[in-house]
Amino acid sequence: MMGPRQALRLFRINWVFLRHGLDEVILATHLFRPLRWIMYLLPWHWVERDLPAYPVRVRQALEDLGPLFVKFGQILSTRRDLLPDDLAVELAKLQDQVPPFDGAEARALIEKAWGCSVDQVLDEFNPTPLASASIAQVHTGRLKNGTEVVVKVLRPGIERTIRQDLALMYTLAYLAERYWKEGKRLRPIDVVREYEKTICDELDLQREAANASKIRRNWQNSEMLYIPEVYWDWTRPNVMVMERIYGTPVSDVETLKAQGVSMKLLGERGVEIFFTQVFRDNFFHADMHPGNIFVEPSGRYISIDFGIVGTLTTEDQRYLAENLLAFFERDYRRVAELHVESGWVPHGTRIDEFESAIRTVSEPIFEKPLAEISFGHFLVRLFQTARRFNMEIQPQLVLLEKTLLNIEGLGRMLYPELDLWTTAKPYMERWMKDQVGIKGLFDRTKHNIYSVVDQAPELPLIAYRILMAYDKRLRTVEPINKPTIQPASAPALSQIISGATLLICGTLVLLFGPGQWLQETTGIAVMIGCYTAGGLLLLRAARRA
């Protein structure tokens, strides 16, 4: 049930839509279709108006509706599998800039979070914000030890405002899904649900600080990327204190060139950082637009704002790498098979039909020089095609697609001749080789060793129980059956004993062999041999029994 405040807000939304010439959006739904004749009674339809293009009007309407709708439009712009290209591109232009709130109020919020005066923590605090956005604003300061910091504080009452607007968005999404002819395809309720998760994550600054700390550890002492330090003693759910950084905004190309920064190196480093975060770290900064990236005179990137991050499962990493490699080898059948194997499309999908659809999308791309092929737009087209085969878009893949588009656009802004494929392909090939080679096997074994250690003491008992159960079965067999079963029983019993012994030996080798009394590769080989032989013997014994 909609309250008076929500009803008033809904009225204002409709009024903004009408003012921007978007009355067709409202009257296009099944709910209002019988009233479409009203359009001809509206005064602005009596004279011809010089209106901007439809995507521009949508962007302008969202800007008028306020910062939370602006942020929703930004996130919606990443769903290129759902939106027309012109609308997605226009929504990406939305700027998350809102007037700051009073510095004295920010100071009061910080002091309440810290439980003490700002002067007890900081020698200096600038009440004029350095930056202001829809969720939080940032002030500069100096710790008692002289360290320059930035203090990020959430806007007062922002959580209540977000909850109210989210409730209204869900109402609009429900109406759109029920009454709009495109509603079923665009799944507005799911889109709002994704937005809710993203926006609620950004309301917890401790979460953002934890993301920053993890990425900082991953890139400690790197010459390519620097992440500011978080000061945990003064970080709270609504306040975050971080090292202040100085650098040139990455979009200021002229200044970077004047500093002697190599644009080619900068573009290639951006691509390498992205693929390293995705494949090596499996933890990537998913909001890498130019406003969050700075560059030192040495050419090292500095990254800020870690409210949105992405991760992939190991399976998703492998399928993504294989997809991109297969795509550039024009092995469209393999691309189709990978989509089915990964579960991204239903298992009943006809491979030949899916392959044909992928070929139709991909072949025109290869008419361009390699340096002009866009990874990001390829993924967009691929996901759009897969939607026709009932592909359920995974949120982590949407984040990946958005980040790749940002990185690709950034790289080519810095160095238009950037060949993303030449830069990325060797990295993905090395990663795939590591995954399927002996190193990958050893790394996965080390990752799972604690689970094996936990179960290792039980293996002798499990083997003993198998033997006792088998012995009991032999003792309870009726005499009439003894002549037919006994000949097969001795080999089966021998196989059970041998198989259990090999499993125990393999576990002991795993625990105490590699790197101690055996070389790592030899120990791994012995362990695999023991497990394989033991498993085969137990399987054969089970068939005999």
Find the helix packing angle between 314-328 and 332-341, rounded to 10°: 170
Q: Helix 520-544 vs helix 482-512: angle between axes, to the nearest 10 degrees?
A: 160
**Whole-angstrom Cα distance, residue 76 to residue 156?**
26
How many angstroms separate the Cα of 436 from the Cα of each of 317, 468, 528, 544? 13, 40, 15, 34
Question: How far apart, in Å, are the Cα atoms of 452 and each of 466, 507, 528?
Answer: 19, 8, 14
DSSP three-state, residue 137 = strand
**Do strands 225-226 and 136-143 pair parallel, antiparallel, or not at all (unpaired)?**
unpaired
C-alpha distance from residue 122 to each of 144, 238, 398 (Å)? 6, 18, 41
Active site residue 85: no
In sequence order, the 6+-apart residues with CB closer than 8 A to the CB of 203 are 135, 154, 158, 159, 162
Neighbours of 37 (CB within 10 A): 8
What tokens appear for 467 in the block? 């033997």
**Amino acid (one-letter) located at 63:** E
Structure tokens at 192: 């709002």
CB 368 within 8 A of CB 251: no
User: Which residues, other chains included, contact 165 with Cβ-Cβ below 8 Å and sequence gap of 6+?
Assistant: 9, 66, 68, 69
How many angstroms separate the CA atoms of 357 and 272, rounded?
31
3-state secondary structure at position 441: helix
Q: Which two tokens stand for residue 385?
A: 């095609």
Strands 248-249 and 293-295: antiparallel
**Is residue 327 classed exposed, middle or buried when 0-12, 13-18 and 19+ CB atoms within 10 A define those classes?**
buried
Strand locations in 101-226 (E): 122-125, 131-132, 136-143, 148-154, 225-226
State both tokens at 148.
């320059």
Catalytic-labelled residue, pool 81, 165, 287, 305: 287
Residues labelled catalytic: 287
